[in-house]
Amino acid sequence: MTYADRYKAAGVNIDEANRTVEMMKAAVRATHTPQVLADVGSFGGLYALENLPAGPVLAASTDGVGTKVKLAAELGRWQGIGHDIVNHCINDILVQNARPLFFLDYIAAGKLEPEAVASVVQGMAQACRAAGCALLGGETAEMPGVYAEGAFDVAGTVVGLAARDNLWPRQAEMEPGDLLLGLPSSGPHTNGYSLIRKTVADRDLAQKLEDGQTLADALLAPHKCYVNEIEALLAAGIPIRGLAHITGGGFPDNLPRILPESLAAEIDTAAWEAPPVFRKLTEWSGMSPAEAYRVFNMGMGIAAVIPAGAESAAPAVLPGARIIGRLIPRSPDKPAVQICDLS
Question: Binding residues for a second copy, per CB under 8 A?
Answer: 1, 37, 40-49, 52, 55-64, 66-67, 69-70, 92-93, 95-96, 98, 101-102, 104-106, 108, 110, 136-139, 141, 143-148, 151-153, 155, 157-160, 162, 164, 167-169, 194, 245, 257-258
Minimum distance from residue 134 beta carbon to a second copy (Å) = 10
Closest Cα partner for 117 from 86, 83, 79? 79
CB-based burial of residue 55 (10 Å sphere; 0-12 exposed, 13-18 middle, 19+ buried)? exposed
For a second copy, give the closer residue by CB, 269 or 297: 297
Given a contact cutoff of 8 angstroms between Cβ atoms, the answer to whether 324 and 300 are in contact is yes
For a second copy, give the closer residue by CB, 170 or 279: 170
**Angle CA 174–312–336, to nearest 5:** 30
**Exposure string (b/e) for 104-127, b if CB count within 10 Å is 16 or more?**
bbbbbbeebbbebbbbbbbbbbbb
Minimum distance from residue 279 beta carbon to a second copy (Å) = 26
For a second copy, give the closer residue by CB, 138 or 187: 138
Minimum distance from residue 46 beta carbon to a second copy (Å) = 5
DSSP 53: P
Minimum distance from residue 43 beta carbon to a second copy (Å) = 4
For a second copy, give the closer residue by CB, 142 or 311: 142
DSSP 166: G
- Alpha-carbon span 234 to 116, nearest angstrom: 38
**Angle CA 242–302–336, to nearest 5:** 65
For a second copy, give the closer residue by CB, 14 or 317: 14
DSSP 342: -
Residue 101 corresponds to which amino acid? L
Given a contact cutoff of 8 angstroms between Cβ atoms, the answer to whether 87 and 154 are in contact is no
For a second copy, give the closer residue by CB, 148 or 340: 148
For a second copy, give the closer residue by CB, 155 or 274: 155
Minimum distance from residue 30 beta carbon to a second copy (Å) = 19
Residue 282 corresponds to which amino acid? T
Minimum distance from residue 169 beta carbon to a second copy (Å) = 6
Residues in a beta bridge with 141: 108
Closest Cα partner for 278 from 259, 298, 258, 264? 298
Minimum distance from residue 274 beta carbon to a second copy (Å) = 23
